[in-house]
Structure 1
Amino acid sequence: MDRSLLRDDVYRRLRDAIVDGTFVPGEQLKDGDLAEWLGVSRTPVREALLRLGASGLVVAVPGRSTTVSTIDPRAVRDARDVLAAMHGLAVRETAGRLPEEEVSRMRDANRRFAEALSAGDVAAALDADEELHRVPVAALGNRALEAVLEQFEPLVRRAELLRFSGDGRTPVERHDRLIELLAAGDAEGAASVNFDIWHSLPADDPAAER
């Protein structure tokens, strides 16, 4: 595999393992063990851990250890606010300009989101939620915006596990409203709903400190 592709694959696999709880907060991550687990050398693992540190998913003490970070409400709140702004820009710029097939993709993603919540499949719900919100982002094609999302989304995604483990009806309804406003070309209305969606995350919930 090309070195850059291998590096990105290792990063994604470690990121996902932290987000989905395979590696729990406070757990020590040893590059040798991770390399053996993934079947790669230590170099891409070390590079991935540096990227995960920049995203706030791990905490490294030079010369000592790297551990999975706890879910810090302030860090989640800061990241959430950045994501809300980036997604707000995407929906403002693409309102009324999304092809019908892309609008249909969002509707289908929200249907699968609702079904996953009803079934208690939080991982599938998160995947569908991410797919829905990624449609305007992909349509905008702003690479700088996409880089910001790549850095901060994993931290917020862990907090979303708490939200989607509860009553998911409100997010489904807000998604429906967002989609209709985008299709109708109401940029400010879509941006307002987008703001509500992202700021409904439980960033200030003491239970998030775990």
Structure 2
Amino acid sequence: MPTPPPQGIHKRSLLRNDVYESIRDAIIDGTFAPGERLRDPELESWLGVSRTPIREALLRLERAGLIVSQPGRATTVAPLDPGSTVSAQQVVAAMHELATRLAVPQLGQSGLAAMGRANTAFAAAIKNNDADAALAADDAFHSVFVDACGNEMVPVLLEQAMPVLRRVERQRFSSHEAQHSVTAHAEIIRLAALGDADGAAQATRDNWLSLAGGAAR
């Protein structure tokens, strides 16, 4: 049969993502505190959408470990759990290590320059105690490798594991104690510029694993 007209399918997909990201970000930045109950009518009023995209977003957030759902009872923001954080950190570190190893041989001067700019912005954000800007700059730094690695599974797995880790990152990026990550980023850039894929990959892994116990990468 002929392919049917889209009928707004893409718009609905974008709406679902927007709703998911809005609730996710509110959990990460503490607007919704651990243990807080999430009520559909309040979320509908806040976001101006129907219950369907909200329920879909909550299912994704439950899979990501950010909420706890008890059917017929309540949906609450998940507590900060050290075990879940470490598990997510291990996956994230492994995926970024792989992305770096695959990407370094493909990187040109433009990629290295983009990482340098991102690290400069990261350093400024840390100096200003601007956690949101620090997170954005840190994402820009690491996304250079992810975008260049050529493995489509890497971003899929990172999207699943990152939300749990993001809450710990945001707390740490609000302080000057994350300053050592600027130096770690600079070393990753140096190794990548030398074409040392293994060295850059190990440095990237160490950078992410340094987040253990609440330390920023």
Work out whether the TM-score is over 0.5: yes
2:112 corresponds, among 99, 103, 110, to: 103
Q: Which residue of 1 aligns with 2:91?
A: 82
Q: Which residue of 2 aligns with 1:186?
A: 196
User: 1:102 offset after TM fit, Å?
Assistant: 1.6
SS in 1 for 2:212: coil
Gaps of 5+ in 1: 206-210
Q: Which amino acid aligns with 2:186?
A: D
CA gap of 1:130–1:54, structure 2 versus 1, over 3 A, is same
- The two structures have a TM-score, normalised by structure 2, of 0.90
Larger radius of gyration: 2
Q: Does 1:63 align with 2:106?
A: no
For residues 85 and 49 of structure 1, what CA distance do their matches in structure 2 show? 27
For residues 88 and 179 of structure 1, what CA distance do their matches in structure 2 show? 14
User: 1:168 offset after TM fit, Å?
Assistant: 2.0
For residues 50 and 163 of structure 2, what CA distance do their matches in structure 1 show? 24
Q: Which residue of 2 aligns with 1:208?
A: none
For residues 202 and 113 of structure 1, what CA distance do their matches in structure 2 show? 20
Gaps of 5+ in 2: 1-7
SS in 1 for 2:84: helix
Identity rate, percent: 49
Residues 53-75 of structure 1 deviation map (CA, whole Å, 9 limit, x = unaligned): 00000000011111111110110
Q: Which residue of 2 aligns with 1:119?
A: 128
User: 1:108 offset after TM fit, Å?
Assistant: 0.6
Q: Does 1:198 align with 2:208?
A: yes
SS in 2 for 1:95: helix
Q: Which amino acid aligns with 2:139?
A: E
For residues 6 and 186 of structure 1, what CA distance do their matches in structure 2 show? 42
For residues 61 and 165 of structure 1, what CA distance do their matches in structure 2 show? 33
CA gap of 1:135–1:204, structure 2 versus 1, over 3 A, is closer
For residues 103 and 169 of structure 1, what CA distance do their matches in structure 2 show? 20
Contact 1:76–1:203 under 8 Å retained in 2: no
SS in 2 for 1:203: helix
Residues 113-133 of structure 1 deviation map (CA, whole Å, 9 limit, x = unaligned): 000000111111111111111
SS in 1 for 2:106: coil
Higher relative contact order (CA 8 A, sep 6+): 1
Q: Which residue of 1 aligns with 2:144?
A: 135
Residues 105-157 of structure 1 deviation map (CA, whole Å, 9 limit, x = unaligned): 11111100000000111111111111111111011232221111111111111
Q: Does 1:156 align with 2:127?
A: no
Contact 1:159–1:203 under 8 Å retained in 2: no
For residues 105 and 156 of structure 2, what CA distance do their matches in structure 1 show? 25
User: 1:204 offset after TM fit, Å?
Assistant: 6.7
1:4 corresponds, among 7, 13, 36, to: 13
SS in 2 for 1:96: helix
For residues 152 and 60 of structure 2, what CA distance do their matches in structure 1 show? 18
Tell me how large the CA RMSD over aligned residues is.
1.4
How many residues are treated as equivalent by the alignment?
205
Contact 2:38–2:77 under 8 Å retained in 1: yes
Q: Does 1:37 align with 2:46?
A: yes
- The two structures have a TM-score, normalised by structure 1, of 0.93
SS in 1 for 2:69: strand
